[in-house]
Amino acid sequence: MRIYLIGYMGSGKSTLGKMLAKYAGMQFIDMDHYIEKRNCKTVPRLFAEEGEEAFRNKERKALHELSEMNDVVIATGGGAPCFFDNMDVMNRTGKTVYLNISPKILAERLLNSKTDRPLIRGKTEEELIQFIDESLKNRNAFYLKAHDQITDPDTALEDIITMLNQDTSH
């Protein structure tokens, strides 16, 4: 089994991914960390030194490698589903779950996060909400192709597991 957690920055993919993997006895992989290890550079450095396009190519390569691993929960980077045919690759090779969280909550979480995210660096709360709103207009076209979605940020792990077990066709 292979589960891909997708969604905007700050939607809780890694937090949920770790819990799910632990519960199901599966391996957890954070796609950004995987890319950093493979390239011996942090994501911010990849963006700064090689640019976003190069990062997206590396992200695509990482996805193809990860799509061959078994019994794994993968927290994808927020932009990963929105480039190339990545979303189709994920839908074909595993179960995709979209963490669909409101821009207001995302902005609050991102402002309190210690992770350096090049795309939103230095933005105020208002700027951030507007930026998230705008990018979700484009990104939702990809995110909404997921097999399942979670819209309540307080959904209990047991309910998520029930949802995943209900549809075993992926």
Residue 117 found at the interface with ligand S3P (CB under 6 A): yes
Question: Counting contacts by CB under 6 A, is residue 43 touching ligand S3P?
Answer: yes
32 binds ligand S3P (CB under 6 A): yes
- Of 65 and 167, nearer to ligand S3P (C-beta) is 65
For residue 48, state whether it binds ligand S3P (rule: CB under 6 A): no
Nearer to ligand S3P, 118 or 153 (CB): 118
Total interface residues for ligand S3P by CB under 6 A: 9
User: 134 vs 67, 101, 129, CA distance in Å?
Assistant: 30, 14, 9
Nearest to 1, CA basis, from 81, 93, 80, 99 = 93
Q: How far is the CB of 127 from ligand S3P (least distance, A)?
A: 16
The verdict on 79 binding ligand S3P (CB under 6 A) reads yes
Is residue 12 a contact point for ligand S3P (CB under 6 A)? no
Q: What are phi and psi of 105, to 5 degrees?
A: -65, -40
Q: How far is CA 35 from CA 42, 105, 115, in A?
A: 8, 27, 15
17 binds ligand S3P (CB under 6 A): no
- Beta partners for residue 41, in sequence order: none
> Which residue from 63, 58, 52 is spatially nearest to 118, judged by alpha carbons?
52
Q: According to the binding rule CB under 6 A, does residue 119 interact with ligand S3P?
A: yes
Q: Does 9 bind ligand S3P (CB under 6 A)?
A: yes
Amino acid symbol at 121: R
CB of 120 to ligand S3P, least distance (A): 8
Rounded-to-integer distance, Cα 28 and Cα 3, Å: 10
Assigned token pair, 36 = 């950093």
- Which residues are at the interface with ligand S3P (CB under 6 A)? 9, 32, 43, 77-79, 117-119
